[in-house]
Chain A
Amino acid sequence: MFFLYNLERRLTLHPSYFGKNMTELVTTKLMKDVEGTCTGSYYIISVMDSFTISEGRILPGSGLAEFTVGYRAVVWRPFKGETIDTVVVSVNQHGFFAEAGPLRIFVSAHLIPGEIKWDPNGTPPSFHDEETTIQVGTHVRVKIIGTRAEVGDLWAIGSIKEDYLGYFLPP
């Protein structure tokens, strides 16, 4: 699920950048630093704007200036029970991996409906039933049934063993 989230971050700036466009520099640096990262429980997708930039404080010893920046960002946090649209990236006999943006979700064969069978002889091997084939590149609607987070990374387990889940035509 996406959120607009108010966050704060401390940034340092090298003395050689001190000048009139410092604000701009700080904002740029902020975007470079935080966009696309994972904090552990959510991904920071995009910085909307930075609304407060504190006065710079020279760090004793190094001469770097430290700013505390308050900013608003679009973040994405996958929840257990959430349904998301994904693209299959890898298929094996135990299930398949699907990606939703930065998040990689594994859907095991147990959580794939019984009629969708693993066919190891296909080229390439895939899960399929009469109508649908799940192979690399297929768009799949997945329900997240569990997530785990470590610093800088998130993993999720998904299921397509419910109504309205599984193969879907991309819009």
Chain B
Amino acid sequence: MKDLLRLRTSLSEEIELLLNEQIKTEAYSSAVYLAMASYCNRNGFDYSAGYLENQSNEERGHMLKIFKYINDLGGRAISPEVVNIPQEFESFKGVFELALQQEIKVTSQLNRIADQCMRLKDYTTFEFIQWFLKEQIEEEYVARRILELFDVIGEEGTGRWQIDKQIPKVSYGESAGEE
């Protein structure tokens, strides 16, 4: 009997499902960063607001990358339903604590996908997902460095004003540990 399933796509059902979940996670990240941008904006942290807006765009870019991959391989990419976006945050620092937590969650989810790819011998998706795993090194690094600013500069006096100014300047060097 002709193999219609394989003619349709080289993606297995499990991997397609996992990738669609990842689309949802990236969309969620994008929406949360946008809510954070709004919080920072209304509290006078202009530089952070700009930085978080850019982050939001980046996450949407990640989402589209996976979306395109699924469709390119003949799968069915699903436009995600994104709900339960927090609009209020504990504090200026709380925003970035949550950001780091979200990035850590994304990393572990991507690791699970890589794991499943190995298990199912889907080396095409395994290769595709490498870009994201690499990206997460940068994402976690930047999120951690930003949090450290709160300790290094201190929040007292004009501290928060200075932290806000520094946040968009935090970047990840070519190799780990480099400035």
A and B are partners in one complex rather than unrelated chains: no
